[in-house]
Structure 1
Amino acid sequence: MRVGIGGWTFAPWRGPFYPADLTQSRELEYASRQLTSIEVNGTFYGSQKPSSYQKWYQETPDDFVFSLKAPRYATNRRVLAEAGETIERFFASGVLLLKQKLGAINWQFATTKKFDPDDFEAFLKLLPASIEGQPLRHAIEVRHESFKTPEFIALARKYQVAVVLAADSDYPQIADITAPFVYARIMGTSEKEAHGYSAKALDAWAERAHQLAAGTTPDDLETCGEPLAKTTAKAAARDVYLYVISGFKERNPAAAMALLRKL
């Protein structure tokens, strides 16, 4: 179970999270020793240099993991089946230089993107299971109610991609387990709580994370597909990536660290 935040460069974190005398160039080094993972948002907006991936790899502990948001140019398009070249460029940009520190790739879709079974399956076929012998993990973050259907869950399970669990937000919640790992983004931190969430809420998320890691879906999360026991997929131990995102962003590092202590 890995817990982290989105990115590491955010001015309001200097003081509450980062020590006042820490130089900005050492923020990743510091954050990676307080948390166990970070979701990189910059890869969503533009291509990163190979030297950047090398630098991230060198500055973080051996057991640290980065998840990357895939480029928006692959997902924010009318015909998803035409995303092949963008996907190839992304993986050729230096991503594999993260080696064992490469976690899951989050393919995030716009709130206006509706579920088109044929086109969406064509997109999933474009996602490589591995490159140069390095296995890849894919998560898909959908934000339109049309995806809350058993047909979508069956498709995700067919291609072994995780459906991002969006929680404590206005986005549709789909907690069905569809892959050998779980990818959760919780977005409910509040300015009123010192740790972003109340102790009770953090306890609840710690318990949910344990259940998800055991391969079972917590009863208080929303699903829309066939129960796992009724499919060919088996309930088994799964890695969990859990990111504290959005909400009252200033509190996200505190929430992630508090959750790690509980876990």
Structure 2
Amino acid sequence: MTMKVDSGRNETTPNVFIPPQSDPVQRDVADLSRTSVQCSFIDSRPARPKATDTLYIQRFSTRTAQGPEDHTVVGVHVVLEKGHGNKLWEAFHVDRSTRITPGGSRAIGSLKIYCDTLEVHGALSLPEVDVDIFARRLVWADATACIDTSPLPWSLDKASDGIKGIPGQTEDVPAKDGADGRHAGALRVFAHRMDPSENSGPRLIARGGRGQDPGAGECRSLGLCNDYSFDISAYGVRENITFDPPAASYTASLFHPERAGRSLVPAHPEHP
């Protein structure tokens, strides 16, 4: 940075006629050679920001009344990496240990990225998100780098079982059907160049979700009991348990693999 200040001398500058410049741009530029020493100016040359700087990144989202969010990211060199200063990873990535319930809605509907270079570090998890990438260059920065739009696993592997009611007290409850498998998000990539170009593992993953297992039919019968004896003769075990107040119980048929044809029918009390 340079600065010129008043030298303190009492000098006057005669009026000088400056002919108009032929270049319209030059007409708007002051001729510092003819400027009075009483005037000052600052000449600043800051360091040029890197292409990955957040100054070049714009991010915005839209959302309908009850639908998921749709996100758009625009930049020069966009980096998707955990802990990066642009915070994009933390905004979109969903941990694969998270589970979903049947009928649950997705938080993010779509993600569109427009940039010169997109650089991906690690496995970016975007469950059920439709991803569109428009880039001149797509860089997979490490061996694990990928984009995965596969749905998350179910919070319950199977639907609820059917229950036979108590005669005269409760009605039968039919078994529930398992939920349909959920769709993976669509992946559309428009890129002139991809690095590394060799096949080093799956980079774009979109596996449809597994359907939920259905509940078993009327395999259980509810009842009330004050006491019950567990009699498992195959193992020589007999135990009597008293419940106060009475407990709800159900009965299920079990099959012992080492004793073909023998059915063991223990009662399994459950406290309400």
The structure richer in helix per residue is 1
Give the number of the structure with larger relative contact order, counting CA–CA contacts within 8 Å between residues 6 or more apart.
Answer: 1
Q: Which structure has the bigger radius of gyration?
A: 2
Specify if TM > 0.5.
no
TM-score range relative to shorter protein: under 0.3
The structure richer in strand per residue is 2
Q: TM-score, normalised by structure 1?
A: 0.24
Q: TM-score, normalised by structure 2?
A: 0.24
